[in-house]
Amino acid sequence: MVHKLPSVDVVLVGFGWTGAIMAQELTEEGLEVLALERGSWRDTGTDFAPSFIQDELRYRYHGHLFEETAQETLTFRNTPDQTALPMRRLGSFLPGTGVGGSILHWNGQAWRFLPYDFQIRSQTVARYGNAAVSQDMMLQDWGITYDELEPYYMRWEELCGIAGQAGNVNGQKQPGGNPFEGPRSKPYPTPPMKQTYGPTLFGQAAASLGLHPFPCPSGNMSQAYTNPLGVTLAPCTYCGFCEKFGCGNYSKASAQTTILPVLMRKKNFTVRTESEVTRVNVDAFGKHATGVTYVDAQGNEFEQPADLVIVCAYATHNVHLLMSSGIGKIYDPSTGQGTLGKNYCYQLTPSVDLFFDDKLLNPFVGAGALGVIVDDWNGDNFDHTSLGFIHGGYIAGYMTTGRPIETELLPEGTPKWGAKWKKAFVENYLKSMSVSLMGAVMPDKSNHLDLDPTYRDVYGRPLMRMTYDFKQNELKMQDFAMGKMVEIAHAMKPREIKKSARGPRYDIEPYQSTHNTGGAIMGASPADSVINRYLQHWDVPNLFVVGASAFPHNSGYNPTGTVSALALWAADAIRRQYLKHPGPLVHA
Amino acid sequence: MKPKKVSRREFLAASATAAAAAGAGAIGTTPAFSRDVHGGDKDPWLPHQADAPHPLQAPDYKFFTPEEAAFIEAATERLIPDDAVGPGAKACGVALFIDHQLAGAYGRAQGWYMQGPWSKGEETQGYQSRLTPSALYRAAIKAIEDHVASSHSATPFAGLAPDEQDAIISDLEKGKLDLGGVDAKTFFKMLWLNTKEGMFSDPIYGGNKDMAGWKMLGFPGARYNYLDWVDRHGQRYDQPPVGIRGRPEWNGEG
């Protein structure tokens, strides 16, 4: 039996980072906002206090802050000719659950995408001709420009106190920053983090090669910071437990440290935890969302009507929820029909490990966004003529952690276990680091999401099926970037290096990044996108879908900044336009 | 679209009171196993609710039979042997650590998607065994001991010479050993990860005894502030490690 509840103005599906942004913005309009969150309430003092959070086994290996596959997972295969099998354990990516969502356990690497990204198809064709975009590459412009999004990037950085060195303020190049970044309206709100030895060596080597090193923009605080909402974050203490952990020190930007202290004082906001939305309900014509159906921890089913439905769960779950709700047509790679599930992308993250004889790097003195970067081979920052690929990625000398189960860098030829393994691990632990690539992934015709024909979740819904593999563009880009990484690595003068490439097949087991994108993408036309430039569903105007699911491709940067800017942009469109005239904000 | 009156929100607030009283909430007349946290009502922080870890209670085996324990002690000691570099798996309590992991949530595959149908799949598709970790260990150890009994003069595995043990482990790693229904590579991968976990995780879980794994590497443990060390490039960190429970000498164990 479904219990029907009284209606609310706005219901949010998921109460992670984008949920917190939407709630904060829409409650400002006096709307009554209800967030439905499948996980539990989470707070710094109770859930990730510095008296017990530095526990690699519990959080990294037993995934204490992550979603459980028993509750939600997907099936995976590399290519359509294979049979997809369930992801029974998390591996390659680590979605969160509970209040605060995945940003709770992010590293804090706080990037903007390039102006090129938002107009990638038109700019690629303009510079290199039609032939640069292969037939299988479903490259498309985003329907929004960097300049339009810039004020929202700025708001995000100010909300989170991002620490960094600007490289381009209103077109003026700034020394020490990223000369390739899009023009910023203001510098970063806080100065960059102080670098430890490893990133410093990387920066010196990159500069000696004529490259343009700069400190990684950081959601770990370089100093105490009070954001525009009046919430204060504390300076980062470099404990090295960021990604996969909550910050016990209020030093990492998250919903808990930037928005919740203000939002939770508002009488027109409620979050209901242990409540998993299983369906967005639409009227008989499929043109109006009537609310959502959710299930509590006991299995009781509730119908929650709402005037406005905002789906802001993790990227893959946004797509799954639309599919489970029968909203939109699921993409079929064999016919090219349908838009829901297409342009699923990920990232490619090869690295070069460096081993020194004479330098103690103390990897445990780390922070999630502690590092020096070169952006010379990202986006269209360099000439791709006759390279055979487009885009690229940033190359980083990070020193994020020395957690000893996970941080195992071993020279070439080291046995995987036994006395020689032990000797090599002990000898190199304090004196090794990695240079890594955050490689972009372009949309491919056969990489997509749909529903699995066999496997079902605990609610009896078909699991979502992921079909994904690295394609020629990524593999060629990896070869190119590997050459550049090796060059920088040698310039750092280590005893030896080891190349660690990804692929050629994508493997869902080893951790790579929680940077899943696409599947419910934004665009200029309902013919090739699910949502319009304001993240509003083309078919159902009172439904918005917020998150990295909106990305038509994945860039060579961590996605959180762009996820956040898009959420703020969509919230602004709802506040300024939609509430005055509910209906489509873009006419197809 | 206009904001609605607050009356409905007050209705929902009433359910929160019921939730606090009963441990399970009520939405309308329906008992609800969810929690409402209303803005402005009260501090959502729950006293006495810290999500603290569960340390190992008693240092005795809870899952392995004595024969299985002997196998795991011998095998993990070959994976990380005691030598001049530092103590091995045995001295660090790795077998005890694994035993308690298998007796608990991890051993039961708690939280994993374990529905069928079952298929081995491609190498890129991850863990596909129907066996939980505890069942996998039990089945694999039996199959390996059966193999030892049929192919070696000495038994069990723990009684073999180190190089004979190494050869068997190497065959597991390469998937050369036929363990019947158990995938040798899958078992090796799990055993090796659990061994490293036992060597380098916080001592509260029974491994990394006396923080010997951490000391060997120079990892300072569960510290949370290295601000003084950020610009001390290339200097050796001079403080001993601490665990979540402090240091052994602080609570009479050292």
Is the Cβ pair B40, A582 closer than 8 Å?
A: no
Task: Determine how many CB atoms are found less than 10 A away from the CB of residue B178.
Answer: 10
In chain B, residues with a C-beta closer than 8 Å to the C-beta of A39 are none
**Distance, CA of A565 to CA of A574 (rounded, Å):** 14
Cα separation, A141 vs A119, whole angstroms: 5
- The partner residue sitting opposite B28, judged by closest CB among A3, A55, A408, is A3
The shortest CB-CB distance from B38 to any of A50, A57, A270 is to: A270
Cβ neighbours, 10 Å, residue A214: 24
HSE (CB half, 13 Å, CA atoms) of A346? 27
Kindly report the nearest CA distance between residue B40 and chain A, in angstroms.
Answer: 4
Q: Which two tokens stand for residue B148?
A: 């030892």
Q: How far is Cα B47 from Cα B37, in angstroms, rounded to an integer?
A: 15
Say if residues A337 and A331 touch (Cβ distance below 8 Å): yes
Residue type, position B146, single letter: D
Q: Which of B114, B227, B230, B238 to mutate to test the interface with A (most CBs of A within 10 A)?
A: B230
Question: A-chain residues within 8 Å CB-CB of B187?
Answer: none
Q: Are strands A85-86 and A225-226 parallel, antiparallel or unpaired?
A: unpaired
Which of A314, A317, A483, A459 is closest to A395 using CA atoms? Answer: A483
List C-alpha distances in Å: A345 to A46, A95, A453, A460, A474.
Answer: 35, 16, 22, 27, 11
DSSP state of A187: -
**Is residue A187 reached through a cis peptide bond, with omega within 30 degrees of 0 on the bond before it?**
no
The beta-carbon neighbor of B9 closest among A268, A273, A362 is: A268
Cβ proximity of A267 and B6 under 8 Å = yes
Which residue of chain B comes nearest to A506, CA vs CA? B124
- In a mutational test of the A interface, the residue from B2, B37, B194 whose CB has the highest number of chain A CBs within 10 Å is B37
Q: Is B45 on the interface with A (CB under 8 A)?
A: yes
Chain A residues with CB inside 8 Å of B119's CB? 83, 85
Cα–Cα dist A437/A482, whole Å: 8
Match 């020194």 to its residue by tokens: A356
Measured between alpha carbons, how far is residue A8 from residues A12, A292, A344, B93 in Å? 10, 11, 33, 56
Q: What six digits make up the tokens of A43?
A: 């707070």
First to last CA, chain B: 67
Sign (positive or negative) of CA dihedral A127, A129, A130, A132: negative
C-alpha distance across the termini of chain A, in Å: 39
Q: Which domains does chain A have, with CATH numbers?
A: 2-578 (3.50.50.60)
Contact by Cβ (8 Å): A316, A508 = no
Q: Answer yes or no: do A70 and B197 touch at CB < 8 A.
A: no
Burial label, A458 (beta-carbon count in 10 A; 0-12, 13-18, 19+): middle
Interchain contact, A51 vs B244, CB within 8 Å: yes
β-strands A289-296, A301-311: how paired? antiparallel
Measure B245 CA to nearest chain A CA, in Å: 9
Residue B46 in contact with partner chain A when CB distance is under 8 A: yes
Residue B61 in contact with partner chain A when CB distance is under 8 A = no
Per-residue pLDDT of chain A (588 residues; tens, 9 = 90+): 789 999 999 999 999 999 999 999 999 999 999 999 999 999 999 999 999 999 999 999 999 999 999 999 999 999 999 999 999 999 999 999 999 999 999 999 999 999 999 999 999 999 999 999 999 999 999 999 999 999 999 999 999 999 999 999 999 999 999 999 999 999 999 999 999 999 999 999 999 999 999 999 999 999 999 999 999 999 999 999 999 999 999 999 999 999 999 999 999 999 999 999 999 999 999 999 999 999 999 999 999 999 999 999 999 999 999 999 999 999 999 999 999 999 999 999 999 999 999 999 999 999 999 999 999 999 999 999 999 999 999 999 999 999 999 999 999 999 999 999 999 999 999 999 999 999 999 999 999 999 999 999 999 999 999 999 999 999 999 999 999 999 999 999 999 999 999 999 999 999 999 999 999 999 999 999 999 999 999 999 999 999 999 999 999 999 999 999 999 999 999 999 999 999 999 998
Helix axes B94-103, B184-200, angle to 10 degrees: 110
Question: What is the complex's ipTM, to 2 decimals?
Answer: 0.96
Q: Is B7 on the interface with A (CB under 8 A)?
A: no
Joined together, the tokens standing for residue B23 give 């441990």
For strand A33-36 and strand A8-13, is the pairing parallel, antiparallel, or unpaired? parallel
- What does the alpha-carbon distance between residue A557 and residue A389 come to, in Å, rounded to a whole number? 17
Distance from C-alpha of A527 to C-alpha of A123, rounded to nearest angstrom = 21
Residue of A nearest to B114 (CA): A88
Q: Quick check: A272 and B227 CB within 8 A?
A: no
Nearest-CA residue of chain A relative to B229?
A365
A265 CB-near residues (< 8 Å, 6+ apart): B39, B40
- What is d(CA A577, CA A583) in angstroms, rounded to the nearest whole number? 9
Cα A252 from Cα A221, distance rounded (Å): 6
User: What letter would DSSP give residue A544?
Assistant: E
Identify whether A515 is a catalytic site residue. yes
- Using a CB–CB cutoff of 8 Å, tell me whether B31 touches chain A: yes
> pLDDT band for position B104 (50/70/90)?
very high
Mind spelling out the 3-state secondary structure of chain B?
Answer: CCCCCCHHHHHHHHHHHHHHHHCCEEECCEEECCEEEECCCCCCCCCCCCCCCCCCCCCCCCCCCHHHHHHHHHHHHHHCCCECCECCCCCCCHHHHHHHHHHCCCCCCCCCCCCCCCCCCCHHHCCCCCCCHHHHHHHHHHHHHHHHHHHCCCCCHHHCCHHHHHHHHHHHHHCCCCECCECHHHHHHHHHHHHHHHHHCCHHHCCCHHHHHHHHHCCCECCCCCHHHCCCCCCCCCCCCEECCECHHHHCCC
CB–CB of B225 and A365 under 8 A?
no
Q: Computed from CA positions of residues A572, A577, A583, A588, in that sequence, does the dihedral angle turn out positive or negative?
A: negative
Closest-approach residue (CA) in chain A for B126: A509
Question: Per the CB < 8 Å rule, is A426 touching B216?
Answer: yes
Q: Do A46 and B114 touch (CB under 8 A)?
A: no
| Chain A closest-CA separation from residue B197 CA (Å) | 6
Give the amino acid at A471. K
Question: pTM for the full model?
Answer: 0.96
Q: Is A417 exposed, middle or buried (0-12, 13-18, 19+ CB in 10 A)?
A: buried
